[in-house]
């Protein structure tokens, strides 16, 4: 794992998420896309570390500290362990993984915010569904440049990883 490249990629995604995508009503979550990317393309221990770091970055641009890191850490770890059993290399599986992870992590983060006593918007389902849907559509197209940046090579037809 190239940790310096990882840090630059997460920092770039965090800045883009906080600045460029902040004005859009329905937006893809770049950090969620990176979460699924690293859960699919890294070893299990590296994926768990990446999940918590990406969750910390999501908390830095979010309203409160803690809920995103916990939810991203839990579901990123679960996805990394699930990837050991089920291969998530094809685009339809990646779309499904991003969508389900987005819904579950967003729901747990909203629940944790509610338990902390933070005010929540009255209609949370529509934005949560929209962010998960847009992230799942955009996500697989961002996997290739991310793999190039991180120097992750896809194995050939008969190659080993």
Q: Which of 152, 156, 135 is nearest to 42 (CA)?
A: 152
With 70 as the cut, is the pLDDT of residue 156 above it? no
Average pLDDT over residues 109-120: 85
Contact 18, 63 (CB under 8 A): no
Contact 27, 131 (CB under 8 A): yes
pTM of the predicted protein model:
0.88
H or E segment and range at residue 32: helix 30-41
For residue range 20-77, list pLDDT tens digits in order.
766 666 688 999 999 999 999 999 999 999 999 999 999 998 878 889 999 999 999 9
With 50 as the cut, is the pLDDT of residue 129 above it? yes
pLDDT at 122: 75
CA gap 26, 144 in Å, rounded = 23
In this structure, what token pair is assigned to residue 44? Answer: 């299990």
């Amino acid at each position: 794992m190239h940790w310096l490249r990882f840090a630059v990629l997460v920092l770039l995604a965090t800045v883009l998420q906080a600045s460029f995508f902040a004005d859009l009503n329905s937006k893809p979550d770049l950090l969620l896309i990176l979460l699924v990317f690293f859960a699919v393309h890294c070893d299990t221990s590296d994926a768990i570390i990446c999940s918590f770091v990406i969750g910390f970055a999501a908390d830095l641009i979010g309203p409160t500290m803690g809920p995103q890191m916990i939810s991203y850490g839990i579901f990123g770890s679960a996805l990394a362990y699930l990837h050991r059993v089920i291969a998530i290399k094809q685009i339809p599986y990646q779309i499904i993984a991003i969508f389900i992870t987005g819904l579950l992590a967003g729901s747990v983060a909203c629940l944790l915010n509610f338990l902390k006593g933070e005010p929540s918007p009255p209609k949370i389902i529509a934005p949560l569904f929209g962010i998960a849907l847009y992230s799942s559509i955009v996500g697989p197209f961002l996997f290739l440049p991310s793999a190039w940046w991180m120097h992750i090579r896809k194995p050939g037809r008969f190659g080993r990883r």
